[in-house]
A and B are shown apart, each in its own frame.
Chain A
Amino acid sequence: SQQGEEDPQALSIQEGENATMNCSYKTSINNLQWYRQNSGRGLVHLILIRSNEREKHSGRLRVTLDTSKKSSSLLITASRAADTASYFCATDAGGGGAQKLVFGQGTRLTINP
């Protein structure tokens, strides 16, 4: 079952612009993680944000979390061609030692030079 739902499903912008991707989920979570996946490659962990955190930064990435709205956003500033990839949010709602990380369908981001 899908927990996180990314929006939009696809996004195409010009190099240098900012890209914003959104994720909505349905149940209470322990944390939410964002991943990047280049075509035909493995998943790369970007940021983990815990349920008691509202915002985290890592380089050109900014993640926000609104637990009241059950939503998160990933902002990539000053986009580069190398940012072209699929981006997934994954929610961890596990308990009792199980980390049940449930992924959404992803947002396919294309950065045009």
Chain B
Amino acid sequence: EAGVAQSPRYKIIEKRQSVAFWCNPISGHATLYWYQQILGQGPKLLIQFQNNGVVDDSQLPKDRFSAERLKGVDSTLKIQPAKLEDSAVYLCASSVRPGTEIFFGPGTRLTVL
């Protein structure tokens, strides 16, 4: 069974630039998550989708971050404009449904200069 796919794996941008990350969850997984992991810390949930609807985006900085999952499968996370403190690993994850095991992708390491 293929895992959660993410791209790109690494991205370096300058502050105030825009960046987008892509995620393809495990086939059949209705629930998709985006997490932010700052170096030395545990992951923090940014947004959770159930199919193509947002279930929880309470910790998403909506002035600069946006995410969509238009067809209930792939998802994109965008940052516009980026700040230095956005440097982190952005992890996409998926599960069959809430309350079950969550499987993580390899992450995208973002460096903002």
Binding site for B on A (CB under 8 A): 2, 4, 30-31, 33, 35, 41-45, 48, 88, 90, 92, 94, 97-106
Contacts and interface: CB of A to CB of B under 8 A. Distances in A.
B45 A97 contact: no
6 tightest Cβ-Cβ pairs between the two chains A and B: A103-B42, A99-B98, A43-B104, A42-B106, A98-B56, A98-B55
B44 interface: yes
A30 B93 CA distance: 19
Contacts, number: 60
A42 B107 contact: yes
Interface size bracket, B side = 20 to 34
18 contacts: A2-B42, A31-B99, A43-B43, A43-B91, A45-B102, A45-B103, A88-B42, A88-B43, A90-B42, A97-B98, A98-B56, A99-B48, A100-B48, A101-B102, A102-B45, A105-B41, A105-B42, A106-B42
A5 B95 CA distance: 24
Given A42-B91, A42-B107, A43-B91, A99 B42 contact: no
